[in-house]
Structure 1
Amino acid sequence: MIVPGTVICGGAVLLIPLSPALIFGFGPFPHLGVAGGAWALIAYYAAGALLLGWYCASGRNAATLQRGRIQWAPMRRILTVGGLACLNPILTNSLIALVSAIISAHAGTAALAGYATAARLEYLLMPLCFGLGAPMVALVGANIGAGHLERSRRIGMVGGAMAAALSELVGVTAAIWPHAWLSLFGTDEQMLHTGSTYLRIVGPFYGFMGLGFSLYFAAQGAGRLKWPLIGGALRLALYIGVGSIALALTGSLTLFFSIGAAAMFVYGVTVFWSVASGSWFDR
């Protein structure tokens, strides 16, 4: 992980000054406006992909890139897990998009800005959970392949607990001091009020999101994605289905966000139960 970590962090150090340089046109850089941020991000990913591709092709990495025939068997095995795994980000982003549409229609753009700014904190938690979850894919898969089923379950439980603890720390901190995050992006009274309401209600449940999201990676290693996807679908159905009905009947964003917190709890508990109960090992 040293080389990819260095490439990612080193690229980020360059991306941070490159973005405003292309947006505002500093020195030799052209003034591109908002599109400059997009071009900076493209340059960051392109350079990172080239460097990591060269590293793998050079033979320095344990997993090297080599010419070979296209074979359906390994592709099928990858798609069996990867195809289902692609549904998880669809569920997550659909949830954010639909909640944004509901809040915008009900309370206007200022309230939407408050929710979107607060919910952005959840997106920042995902890389944290990804950092703990990605190793679990390999560790869980290797131990299941070696027949160490109980060890694979313990790896998932420990990794999930670590992600839950870190996510909960962020969520509780945001719930206690919501303006510390929200005021970085604006001072509109309605934006701060809606964002603070959201973080105070949902923030204490961030641990369940971190738990479910990290165990989703462990489930990939086990090749058992049914329950993580069911958990994601339940969260979407509760938040959008039950939540939108409650909002239409009461007009209360507080109740709407409370249902969202309950949906996050259901998601985390569902995925946790699937691992703790040993459903991975059912054939």
Structure 2
Amino acid sequence: MADGGEILMQAPGPAGNPLLSGPILPVLLRFALPNMGAMLAGSVAAVAETAYVGALGVPALAGMALVFPLVMLQMMLSAGAMGGGVSGAIARALGAGDTDKANILAVHTMWIGIIIGGCTTVLMLTLAPTLLAAIGGRGEALQQAAAFASVAFAGSIGVWLVNLFASVLRGAGNMGVPSVTLLVMAMAQVAIGGVLGLGLGPIPRLGMPGVAAGQVVAASLGALFLYFYLRSGRARVRLVSVPLEWRYFADILRVGGTACISPLQVVATIVILNGLVAKFGPTALAGFGIGVRLEFLLTPISFAIGVASVPLVGTAIGAGMVARARRVAWIAAGVASGGLATIGVVLAIFPGLWATMFTSDPATLATTSQYFRWVGPAYGFFGAGICLYFSSMPAGRVGGMVLAGTLRLAVVAIGGWWLVSTDAPLWTIFALIGTALVAYGLASVTAMVRTSWGEEAGGEEAGESTPGPARSISTG
């Protein structure tokens, strides 16, 4: 590592390496599909979890709407933001032919998970009731949300470790093991959360804490499995005994830490919207919670495609093939945008396909339907923005994507304040959400167009066929 946060990248020849040569889309899809299956399984688990909560009553459903953004924040920080920083650092090291550095980065990743996970547990167990009350929680809804949080965040170390270990493997181009692990975790979460939450035979009905326990147990078991897998030597990258050094933490945190701003913006946006919708009563909040939950569940679809682009982009950047890296990012964004746009339009036309899985209350269904009519058509822009965010991480260029998230937050905050001050109806809040998603997607595309990822190692197109000399490529 050179001074000023630069890594010496030796560009290996692309021959025989599918990440550095050949058509991009087939490799991208081959990487994305296992992730997609695992992410969809996680989405099914979350749907089942919401169904359990719906069976506990409207107050529990409203409580889930309050606590869910905090739960998803932890997932987005660990699997998305910091996980993307990890995958990008690993991919750059391997693209430069430095396996030893990749192993060292993996060890530092484990300690990042332990430290941040432990701090999350202490922070949330102390402040969760206060935070939930600050975002609009009242009465029984607040009690239900706090009960869920008290268990869910007690297992934060397991959540952080399983997601960061999976990111290490993805950065090395191994999508299969993380995907199978997450698939099994989802199945375990459904089974454990259902049994403990609703009760079965001699097992008492624990309600919201029982549903949360499903997440904690499943994540902890997944983290243990991936730990032993990375220790076994079967993976391209492994956990080895090395002294800890700040420069390796910095290589991960330089991008991952900056990227963490984006999930905070997403959750801040949802918190503001929760507060706005809460003014219309618990039924409106429950309906909104069902609708906005889909946005959180669509994120893993973009996540799967974006994460699939990370080893392709990172390896290309490490080899000095910048033009190829940017093509990967655009192709991935197009795939994500098309997929989410299709889902959004279908739900705008047929909102009951989603809403009736959680409730039969007519007023709640009406609110959810109204939400999808205004927000669904904008999901394609959301997908493009999320995917470009992930693709920019291994290039070390996430600043523009963070600003795109800032724009979305500003549109919601300023627009929401104005709508509330004028006593606007609920549908205008939903229209504002759709507008903010469009602004986010367009700003992300603009940032990608205007941001340089560095110079090609051997000229404009040299990276596609000819290895270049060693180059210093900034990751700051």
TMscore range, shorter length: over 0.9
- Give matches, 1:220-231, under 5 Å: 220-231=393-404
Task: Output the CA distance in 2 between the equivalents of 1:265 and 1:47.
Answer: 39
Task: Output the CA distance in 2 between the equivalents of 1:141 and 1:253.
Answer: 44
Of 314, 320, 323, the residue aligned with 1:150 is 323
- Deviations along 1:20-48, whole A, 9 cap, x unmatched? 21123324545433211122211100110
Of 318, 334, 338, the residue aligned with 1:161 is 334
Task: Output the CA distance in 2 between the equivalents of 1:29 and 1:54.
Answer: 32
**Residue 258 in 1 paired to residue 426 in 2?**
no
Task: Output the CA distance in 1 between the equivalents of 2:203 and 2:269.
Answer: 38
Aligned twin of 1:215: 388
**Residue 184 in 1 paired to residue 345 in 2?**
no
Q: State the AA in 2 paired with 1:219.
A: S
Of 236, 240, 243, the residue aligned with 2:416 is 243
Of 168, 174, 185, the residue aligned with 1:11 is 185
- Deviations along 1:64-100, whole A, 9 cap, x unmatched? 0001011111211211111111111111111111101
CA distance 1:24–1:192, shift in 2 (3 Å): closer
Task: Output the CA distance in 2 between the equivalents of 1:75 and 1:15.
Answer: 32
CA contact (8 A) 2:348 2:376 kept: yes
Aligned twin of 2:94: none
Aligned twin of 1:133: 306
- Shift of residue 183, structure 1, vs aligned partner: 1.5
CA distance 1:259–1:33, shift in 2 (3 Å): closer
Aligned twin of 2:132: none
- Shift of residue 120, structure 1, vs aligned partner: 0.6
Identity %: 34
Task: Output the CA distance in 1 between the equivalents of 2:210 and 2:289.
Answer: 22
Range 267-276 or range 185-194, more displaced? 185-194
**Residue 173 in 1 paired to residue 346 in 2?**
yes
Aligned twin of 1:56: 230
- Shift of residue 8, structure 1, vs aligned partner: 1.5
Task: Output the CA distance in 2 between the equivalents of 1:66 and 1:30.
Answer: 43
Q: State the AA in 1 paired with 2:196.
A: L
Aligned twin of 1:195: 368
Of 103, 115, 122, the residue aligned with 2:295 is 122
Aligned twin of 1:86: 260
Task: Output the CA distance in 2 between the equivalents of 1:153 and 1:237.
Answer: 28
CA contact (8 A) 2:196 2:205 kept: yes
Task: Output the CA distance in 2 between the equivalents of 1:193 and 1:27.
Answer: 36
CA contact (8 A) 1:157 1:276 kept: no
SS of the equivalent of 1:280 reads coil
Task: Output the CA distance in 1 between the equivalents of 2:359 and 2:205.
Answer: 25
**Residue 75 in 1 paired to residue 75 in 2?**
no
How many residue pairs match? The answer is 282
In structure 1, runs of 5+ residues without a counterpart are none
Task: Output the CA distance in 2 between the equivalents of 1:103 and 1:249.
Answer: 14
Compare relative contact order (CA 8 Å, sep 6+) and give the higher one, 1 or 2: 2
- Deviations along 1:206-263, whole A, 9 cap, x unmatched? 0000110111001111111111111111101101212330242151222222222111
In structure 2, runs of 5+ residues without a counterpart are 1-174, 456-473
Of 239, 247, 261, the residue aligned with 1:65 is 239
**Residue 34 in 1 paired to residue 208 in 2?**
yes
**Residue 100 in 1 paired to residue 301 in 2?**
no
CA contact (8 A) 2:276 2:416 kept: no
Instruction: Calculate the TM-score normalised by the size of structure 1.
Output: 0.94
- Shift of residue 278, structure 1, vs aligned partner: 4.4
Q: State the AA in 2 paired with 1:126.
A: T
CA contact (8 A) 1:197 1:254 kept: yes
CA contact (8 A) 2:333 2:388 kept: yes
CA contact (8 A) 1:168 1:204 kept: yes
- Deviations along 1:112-165, whole A, 9 cap, x unmatched? 111111111111111111111112222212212222221111100000111111
Task: Output the CA distance in 2 between the equivalents of 1:252 and 1:24.
Answer: 37
Task: Output the CA distance in 2 between the equivalents of 1:51 and 1:127.
Answer: 22
CA distance 1:222–1:180, shift in 2 (3 Å): same
